[in-house]
Chains A and B, each alone.
Chain A
Amino acid sequence: DAKTTQPTSMDCAEGRAANLPCNHSTISGNEYVYWYRQIHSQGPQYIIHGLKNNETNEMASLIITEDRKSSTLILPHATLRDTAVYYCIVRVGSYSGYALNFGKGTSLLVTP
């Protein structure tokens, strides 16, 4: 699976959009970009994933650059409950056991 690079930490004011970047310059054509988050002491939670096109769901939007070498997770209106560690993970979409390789992630602090 391709390696990802994320900032160690970020701050965001409550109500503002939180934009979390991720670099994955060695991503292969069949690798998906996944985002998970882990709120303190809880199990990781799936947020969103995509291959080429931008994706949006009720939690967030995922913007993937045209060359697919980087992506941005957008939380449109951050709340205090969005404070968590956010993990950007790339992995193949074909059957490979589907294990997720979590890196260090970005620790997002949403402030009042």
Chain B
Amino acid sequence: DTAVSQTPKYLVTQMGNDKSIKCEQNLGHDTMYWYKQDSKKFLKIMFSYNNKELIINETVPNRFSPKSPDKAHLNLHINSLELGDSAVYFCASSHGTSGNSEQFFGPGTRLTVL
């Protein structure tokens, strides 16, 4: 069974469209994350949720809105897509309460904005 899954794996869309990326984890973790890896391969945190509550919101345009319907899911909705949003987006999860835990990453979603 896949621990952290993301859908879709590839997403190609036009500028100005709205799209969503879904993430699910079956590890029973209570903390989930979204990271963005740009064309230069830098991997940066975007959001972090603990028990469905937002705890980290880095400097990300408000066109990006994470939504956590339950502890096992953290979806990322992006409005008015721009060329610069093209990147690979990784979801991750961890058992957040210990402060000393590893993060498990999903396979990534490659978003291409044309």
- List of B residues within 8 angstroms of A42 by Cβ: 107-108
- Count of chain A residues near B, Cβ 8 A: 24
Give A21-40 as 1s and 0s: 1 = Cβ < 8 Å from B's Cβ atoms. Answer: 00000000000101000100
Q: Is B1 an interface residue (CB 8 A)?
A: no
A interface, over-half SS? loop
Main secondary structure of the interface of B (DSSP, over half): strand
Cβ-defined contact, A95 with B99, below 8 A: yes
Q: A98 to B107, Cβ gap below 8 A?
A: no
Residue contact A43 to B90, C-beta cutoff 8 Å: yes
Q: Which residues of B contact A97 (CB under 8 A)?
A: 48, 50, 55-56
| CA gap between A70 and B43 in the complex, in Å | 22
What 6 new A-B contacts, CB under 8 Å, besides A38-B43, A46-B104? A46-B102, A93-B99, A95-B97, A96-B99, A99-B33, A100-B35
- List 16 A-B residue pairs with CB atoms under 8 Å apart, sorted by A's residue number: A34-B102, A38-B43, A42-B108, A43-B4, A43-B107, A43-B108, A44-B105, A95-B96, A95-B97, A95-B99, A97-B55, A98-B94, A99-B56, A99-B58, A100-B103, A102-B42
